[in-house]
DNA sequence: TCATTACGCAACCAAAAAGTTGCATTAATT
DNA sequence: AATTAATGCAACTTTTTGGTTGCGTAATGA
């Protein structure tokens, strides 16, 4: 998941789709300075990371933002931050105890 | 930053350092099934992403958790989630207006 | 002092990732 | 029916990345 967002191109696409509007591959390719195939590959990566969803309509395949994994990433970061905070707390307590 | 956490080995190291205790390179290498040099490289990547800090003490260099960038990542994800939420709101309003 | 421990640097290698090109296919348009 | 627009598939090239090995150096300890 972090790996999927780790590429600047993919992060840009992801960021762009965060407004909720689904977009076709060619639409997304238009203002990316690379081939449609390259964009397609990136979209597949984002999709298999669960960050984006695809469904085909007519002759074009629409990619849309998918919030589930995003929430999971936030939860993980929160958990890490929590561990760090409580470690700080223990350190503070230790220092205070030592001080008395 | 996402790229730095995108590698499983680096994520493991980062996660391990989240308890606040600084650790030396060799300590971190001991229970990683790879060379010390490989671990060193990963630590450098984490450091240049601002996720970890290094300071040398005696003959060993201690790497410690660094919360700043973590907070920034959380802020970004929150912002994206926020955009998504408000997009949902607008859609809901639109549907309701359309419904009346 | 001499061995050992912890590290840095640089070259090297293999595998994966990013991107391209060419061609085939399906759907929409006229 | 013929053309065009949107995509898929596959092979290929080029960088990047993850990892190793070899060697040199600074700090520790006996």
Q: Which residue has the higher pLDDT, A92 or B37?
A: B37
**A87 contact residues in B (CB cutoff 8 A):** 18-21
Range scoring the smallest mean pLDDT among A38-52, B54-68, B83-97: B83-97
Which tokens is B44 given? 């450098």
Residues A96 and A47 in one domain: no
- Write the secondary structure of chain B as one string of H (helix), E (strand) and C (coil): CHHHHHCHHHHHHHHHHCCCCCEEHHHHHHCCCCCHHHHHHHHHHHHHCCCEEEEEECCEEEEEECCHHHHHHHHHHHHHHHHHHHHHHHHHHHHHHHHC
Mutation target among B11, B14, B71, B74 for the A interface, most CBs of A within 10 A: B74
pLDDT confidence band for A100 (50 / 70 / 90)? very low
CB contact under 8 A, A18 and B87: yes
What is the per-residue pLDDT for A97? 61
Q: Which whole-number Å values give the CA distances from A48 to A41, A42, A85, in the listed order?
A: 11, 10, 33
Residues B60 and B75 in one domain: no
B53 is in which domain, residue-wise?
1-66
Residues B34 and B47 in one domain: yes
The pLDDT tens digits for A23-32 are 999 999 998 9
Q: What angle do CA A42, A46, A47 make, to 5 degrees?
A: 115
The pLDDT tens digits for B42-65 are 999 999 999 999 999 999 999 999
Q: What whole-number percentage of chain A has pLDDT above 70? A: 94
Q: Tell me how many domains chain B contains.
A: 2
A26 is near strand D: CB distance < 7 Å: yes
pLDDT score of A94 more than 90: no
User: Which CATH number fits the domain that encloses residue A33?
Assistant: 1.10.10.10
Residues A51 and A11 in one domain: yes
What is the per-residue pLDDT for B14? 98
Residues B53 and B80 in one domain: no
What is the per-residue pLDDT for B98? 56
Residues B57 and B81 in one domain: no
Range scoring the smallest mean pLDDT among A10-14, A87-91, B5-9, B57-61: A87-91
Which tokens is A89 given? 């707390």
Residues A16 and A49 in one domain: yes
How would you classify the pairing of strands B60-65 and B52-57?
antiparallel
B9 is near strand D: CB distance < 7 Å: yes
Residues A86 and A60 in one domain: no
Q: What whole-number percentage of chain B has pLDDT above 70? A: 94
Residues B40 and B21 in one domain: yes
């Amino acid at each position: 998941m972090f790996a999927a967002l780790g590429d600047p191109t993919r992060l840009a696409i992801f960021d762009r789709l965060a407004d909720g509007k689904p977009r076709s591959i060619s639409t997304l390719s238009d203002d990316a300075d690379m081939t449609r195939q390259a964009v397609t590959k990136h979209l597949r990566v984002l999709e298999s990371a669960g960050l984006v969803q695809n469904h085909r309509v007519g002759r074009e395949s629409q990619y849309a933002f998918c919030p589930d994994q995003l929430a999971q990433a936030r939860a993980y970061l929160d958990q890490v931050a929590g561990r760090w905070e409580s470690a700080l707390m223990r350190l503070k307590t230790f220092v205070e105890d030592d001080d008395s």
